[in-house]
Each structure stands twice: as structure tokens, then as C-alpha cells.
Amino acid sequence: MTNNNSPIAVEGVPFIAVAGGLTLLCAAIHWQAAAICLLAITLFIVFFFRNPRRNTPADERAVIAPADGVIVYLGPASEEHLAQECLKISIFMSVFNVHINRAPLTGTVVDAFHVSGKFLDVRDERATFENERSGIVLETVDKARIVVVQVAGLVARRIVCYLRTGDSIERGQRYGLIRFGSRLDVYLPPGTDLKVKMGDKTVSGETILGYLA
């Protein structure tokens, strides 16, 4: 699985290399103002693609937040890959959040999908159905299923998901990212004992969203 150990997400290396190279070039030709601006940009890119370690709770029934951010929706919803009404939690990631996404449960990917679409602001309710998105359906050993969807946004136009149908993954393991701000939607089965509320901040790999029934 990509990005399990490196302190910087590998997808960020080309951006850091270009910005850093331009910084050195400007410094070498004594364009001090440009060099200072480019250094600030380089440091921000390093900050954006940081890949910290997280301590994932041990309880196997716990559903873990797949993203750092703020909960902007929590309530009933429909999801075509789950043949029932479910509970939906949407987590908004700003450009200042860690953008590595982590598996909320240990399980097997029974379906993976990608839908091309628009790039509306992810806080717009139309984004759920109209924006470009990539999702996985995770099934636990007890046959419980959840869906996790990475939603592209106004600025975030690059979704990365390492998982394919048939892959297995552990809770808290890194599985993808979205570049430059976006949203993660988690669809849970009815009866899930929720432990978060609207406006709560989440920490990917650590915050418990709820417990499966």
C-alpha cells in the first residue's frame, strides 16, 4: 500500500521538487523577493502533503474517521451501492488539513467505482450527486458493509485511491488522498451507534465516528 511509512505523501514529491528547484534558481541569480515567495510556497506544499502517523483505536466495532476535517453533514441518506437507507457523515477538508485518507474499518473491497463529474464547491448539496468522485464498498468479516466516497471539489481536482476490488485493508491504513481540499462521505448501516455530531472536528485514523450494531 502506498504512503504507509513516508513522512511526505509520494504524490507531493514532484510539486515539492519543482517549487524547491525554482526557489534555488531564484536564490542563485539573486532574485531575493522571488526566492522568498517560492520558499514560502515550497514549505506550504510540504505542509500540505504531510503524512503523519496516527494511533488507531483497537475496538474492531469502531468506525474510524477516514479524513481530517469538520463534519458538515450527519443524517439519513441513500447510497446506490447499499440496498437500504443508511446514515451519512460528510467530512470537509480544508487546504490546511492532512489530506491522506484512511480506511474506517478492516475489511475487503467488494466494489470500487469512479464517477466523472463537475467540480462544485463540496459544501454545495449538489456536489454529492454531480461532482467527480471515487468510492469503495468495504465488507467486514461479519458481512457488514459501508461505503466511503472521496468527492472532488472546486479546487481539489485530483483524487487518488490505491484500492481495487478484492483488496483487503486494515482499519487506519492509508488508502488514498485528494489534492488541495475536498470532502469524504461515509455511508453507515442503520443502527450504527454514532459518537459524533455536526461541527465536530475529526482526526483521520483516530476519531471514532460510531460503533457498528
Q: Is 3 a member of any domain?
A: no
In 29-171, alpha helices (H): 32-48, 127-130
**Mean pLDDT over all residues of the chain?**
87
57 within some domain: no
Least confident of 15-19, 24-28, 130-134: 130-134
Residue 131 clears pLDDT 70, i.e. is over it? yes
Contacts of 130 (CB under 8 A, 6+ apart): 117, 118, 120
Number of domains the chain is built from: 2
Q: Verify that 108 and 189 share a domain, yes or no.
A: yes
Is residue 77 domain-resident? yes
Catalytic residue among 6, 116, 168, 182: 182
Is the same domain home to 25 and 122?
A: no
17 and 108 inside one domain: no
Asked whether residue 168 falls in the same domain as residue 75, the answer is yes
Q: Strand pairing partners for 87? A: 76, 188
Q: Is residue 131 part of a domain?
A: yes
Residue from 94, 93, 97 nearest 51 by CA? 97
Specify whether 182 is catalytic.
yes
d(CA 52, CA 199): 23
Confidence of residue 35 (pLDDT cuts 50, 70, 90): very high
CATH number, position 67: 2.70.70
Q: Is residue 201 part of a domain?
A: yes
* Structural domain of 143: 62-211
The answer to whether residue 111 is domain-embedded is yes
Same domain, 123 and 94: yes
Whether residue 4 is predicted with pLDDT greater than 70 in this model: the reply is no
Percent of the chain as helix, strand, coil, to the nearest 5? 20, 40, 45
Tell me whether residue 53 is in a domain. Answer: no
- Residue 30 and residue 113 in one domain: no
What b/e sequence results for 78-94 when a residue is b if at least 16 CB atoms lie within 10 Å of its CB, and e otherwise?
A: ebebbeeebbbbbbbbe
| pTM, two decimal places | 0.84
pLDDT level of residue 181 (50, 70, 90 thresholds): low
